[in-house]
């Protein structure tokens, strides 16, 4: 029997697209959340864009026109976006995970992580100071509430204290933003939570690495009879975790 190793990280999970745990290797990117809004590889070749990288499997985006789209309607605030990716080259405003009016992306120079949240208090190309290292597997996250937005790159963060209003996301894009600013590099894991993850939860996800939030343990129940005229059942629980730790 399989049980989730980190069940608390399933709370509020509304979208979970993880190439590093997806065995389809097809034109479909599986949504591991309960909503099952699978993504569709667009202008991509499954034969060449599913790649082995950093000991895992990733989707390779060419920085020209590759992207994945999932038809998903999410209306919520607070919200959290996460993405494990490795940028190959800097592309202006390259989106890693986004919707029609929200994106976790790079800045205008393609050298730092920032975000966009359009509405009554727009924020665009904020000067986060979180510098991207090309060719390195890195963790990015965006937590948005009504009173602040917090952007993460690995273990560092930047907070914007402007007000933010709730949005309705009609499509989810991976590997681009809603204006088709394509990402150049590889995406290993991406997810959306309909709640604000705490700093400790962000730290945990960063530690357990790509696909870690879906890791399971194998639980074996074995029956052992007791001596005497009355039999009783006792169970021995063994677990085998399937996860890897990452440190940045």
Q: Tens digits of per-residue pLDDT, 8-64?
A: 999 999 999 999 999 889 999 999 999 999 999 999 999 999 999 999 999 999 999
Which of 235-244's residues contact partners 24+ apart within 8 Å by CB, and which partners? Answer: 239/3, 241/5, 241/215, 241/216, 241/217, 242/5, 242/215, 242/216, 242/217, 242/218, 243/5, 243/208, 243/209, 243/212, 243/215, 244/55, 244/208, 244/209, 244/212
**Helix, strand, coil percentages in the chain from 3-state DSSP, rounded to 5:** 10, 45, 45
pTM: 0.87
Please tell me the predicted confidence (pLDDT) of residue 239: 41
Give me the residues of the chain with pLDDT under 70, please.
Answer: 119-125, 221-248
Q: How far from 102 is each of 50, 155, 236, CA to CA, in Å? A: 26, 23, 48
Residues 6+ apart with CB under 8 A from 146: 77, 78, 163, 164, 165, 166
Distance CA 152, CA 142 (A): 6
Report the 10 Å Cβ neighbour count for 37. 18
114 and 177 Cβ atoms separated by less than 8 Å: no
So what's the pLDDT on residue 4?
Answer: 92
41 HSE (CA, 13 A, CB side): 21
- Spatial distance between the Cα atoms of 187 and 60, rounded to a whole number of angstroms: 7
Yes or no: say if 191 and 18 are a contact pair by the CB < 8 Å rule.
yes
Cis status of the peptide bond prior to 78, with omega within 30 of 0 = yes
Length of the chain: 248
What is the structure's pLDDT at 165? 85
CA atoms within 13 A on the CB side of 20: 25
pLDDT of the residue at 123 = 61
């Amino acid at each position: 029997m399989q049980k989730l190793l980190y069940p608390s990280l399933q709370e509020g999970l509304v979208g979970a697209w993880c190439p590093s745990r997806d065995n389809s290797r097809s034109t479909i990117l599986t949504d591991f959340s309960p909503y099952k809004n699978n993504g569709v590889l667009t202008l991509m070749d499954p034969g060449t864009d599913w790649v082995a990288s950093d000991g895992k499997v990733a989707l390779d985006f060419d920085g020209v026109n590759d992207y994945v789209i999932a038809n998903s309607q999410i209306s919520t605030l607070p919200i959290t976006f996460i993405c494990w990716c490795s940028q190959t080259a800097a592309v202006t405003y390259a989106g890693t995970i986004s919707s029609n009016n929200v994106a976790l992306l790079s800045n205008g120079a393609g050298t730092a992580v920032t975000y966009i949240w359009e509405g009554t208090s727009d924020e665009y190309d904020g000067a986060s100071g979180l510098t991207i290292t090309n060719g390195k597997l890195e963790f990015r996250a965006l937590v948005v509430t009504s009173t602040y937005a917090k952007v993460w790159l690995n273990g560092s963060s930047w907070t914007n204290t402007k007000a933010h209003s709730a949005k309705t996301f009609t499509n989810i894009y991976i590997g681009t933003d809603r204006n088709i600013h394509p990402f150049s590099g590889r995406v290993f894991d991406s997810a959306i939570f309909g709640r604000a993850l705490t700093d400790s939860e962000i730290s945990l996800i960063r530690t357990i690495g790509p696909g870690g939030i879906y890791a399971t343990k194998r639980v074996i129940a074995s029956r052992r009879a007791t001596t005497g005229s009355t039999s009783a059942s006792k169970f021995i629980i063994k677990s085998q975790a399937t996860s890897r730790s990452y440190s940045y």
